[in-house]
């Protein structure tokens, strides 16, 4: 089974599980699995784009490294190397016949049905690794990329690094993200921005955040309860190559209202402009000039229309013809 349609969504017919491809319908767990009760999972969100040179996964190695880092923090020993996980991903996409998709690797504590363990102690439970893929459109809506979105500052505080390390992309962190997202949606906003426990700007429920002020890019530092976003890093590198100064520093809530431009970054959100915060218009209330320039360069890189900054190799092509496919300047 190459692909499968569920409602209006195209999904890969196979799921990679602990080294083999199984049918989508067989990728099931027991309700008493440790992860269901105690949130013991780490995961990734990765995009494969249908580029001008064929389907390619964006920054696959960096995503798989972050997955392994998350697993290490939570003492989840699993048997696959970064390269094996990368190869598993390209194999899954090849068999799925999807030319672009969102990829979801997840490592979690399951249940040994022959020797069940139901307590908080995670150690008796097996650790399983899965990778699934499906076709997913623009996370915050198609026109969001052009017109921007309306957001609020959340009344919920971002998790602190000494309770739930934001550095790990753990499933349980997303209970905090869900509180932020639900509050925003019910208040009529598209997304919420969380402050950290000291009151400084942290990030969105599933995105990093950038301000543009006086031509400079400003973003919270990696130490400040944020996920080390791979899109964040990509934008920083693209900006530096364009000669735009990037400052990683603490940001007060009020600075959000006074920014010239504001945008979110994330694998799902890509680069999404923000046009208002707490119903206060940001800048001109439209996508700003620097945001548009960064979007333009970012989309060229992910579509293999220009090389990644500073000679980096950010695309893993699914159908390797043997020819070196690194995007070259045209």
Site residue total, ligand PMP (CB under 6 A): 14
Phi, psi of 119 (to 5 degrees): -85, 180
Using rule CB under 6 A, residue 265 touches ligand PMP: yes
Distance CA 106, CA 103 (A): 10
Q: At its nearest, how many Å lie between ligand PMP and the CB of residue 323?
A: 29
Q: Is 266 in the site for ligand PMP (CB under 6 A)?
A: yes
Options 14, 53, 169, 181, the catalytic residue: 169
Q: Per-residue x/- mask for ligand PMP, residues 168 to 207, rule CB under 6 A?
A: ---------x-------------------------x--xx
169 flagged as catalytic: yes
According to DSSP, residue 143 is labeled: T
DSSP state of 276: E
Least distance from ligand PMP to the Cβ atom of residue 229, Å: 3
Q: Which of 42, 168, 227, 238 binds ligand PMP (CB under 6 A)?
A: 227
Please answer whether residues 89 and 103 qualify as being in contact, where contact means their C-beta atoms are separated by less than 8 angstroms.
Answer: yes
Residue 330: Cβ within 10 Å count: 8
- Point out which span in 68-76, 180-188, 259-267, 272-280 binds ligand PMP (CB under 6 A): 259-267
Q: Which stretch binds ligand PMP (CB under 6 A): 143-151, 240-248, 263-271, 276-284?
A: 263-271
For residue 223, count other CB atoms closer than 10 A to its CB: 11
What does 187-221 look like in DSSP terms, one character per residue?
TT-SEEEEE-TTSBEEEESS-EEEEEETTEEEE--
**Residue 128 φ/ψ, nearest 5 degrees:** -115, 150
Q: Give the binding site for ligand PMP (CB under 6 A).
A: 45, 177, 203, 206-208, 227, 229-232, 265-267
Active site residues: 169
């Amino acid at each position: 089974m190459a692909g499968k349609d569920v409602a209006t969504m195209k999904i890969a017919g196979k799921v990679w599980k602990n080294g083999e491809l199984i049918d989508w319908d067989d990728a099931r767990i027991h309700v008493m699995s440790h992860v269901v009760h105690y949130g013991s999972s780490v995961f990734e969100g990765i995009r494969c784009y249908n580029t001008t040179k064929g389907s390619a996964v964006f920054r696959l190695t960096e995503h798989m490294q972050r997955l392994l880092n998350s697993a290490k923090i939570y003492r989840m020993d699993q048997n696959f190397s970064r390269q094996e996980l990368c190869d598993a991903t390209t194999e899954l996409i090849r068999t799925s016949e999807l030319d672009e998709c969102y990829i979801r690797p997840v490592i979690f504590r399951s249940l040994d049905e022959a020797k069940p363990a139901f307590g908080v102690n995670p150690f008796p439970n097996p650790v399983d690794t899965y990778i699934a893929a499906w076709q997913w459109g623009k996370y915050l809506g198609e026109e969001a990329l052009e017109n921007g979105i309306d957001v609020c500052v959340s009344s919920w505080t971002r998790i602190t690094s000494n309770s739930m390390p934001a550095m790990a992309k753990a499933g349980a962190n997303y209970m905090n993200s869900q509180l932020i997202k639900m509050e925003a949606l019910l208040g009529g906003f598209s997304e919420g921005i969380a402050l950290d426990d000291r009151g400084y700007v942290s990030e969105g429920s599933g995105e990093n955040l950038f301000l543009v002020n006086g031509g400079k890019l400003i973003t919270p530092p990696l130490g400040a309860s944020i996920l080390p976003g791979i899109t964040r890093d990509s934008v920083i590198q693209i900006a530096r190559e364009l000669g735009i100064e990037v400052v990683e520093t603490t940001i007060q809530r009020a600075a959000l209202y006074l920014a010239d431009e504001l945008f979110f970054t994330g694998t799902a959100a890509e680069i999404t402009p923000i046009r208002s915060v707490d119903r206060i218009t940001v800048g001109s209330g439209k996508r700003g000039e620097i945001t548009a320039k960064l979007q333009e360069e970012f989309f060229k890189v992910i579509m293999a229309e220009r090389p990644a900054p500073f000679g980096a190799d950010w695309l893993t092509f699914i159908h390797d013809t043997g020819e070196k496919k690194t995007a070259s300047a045209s």
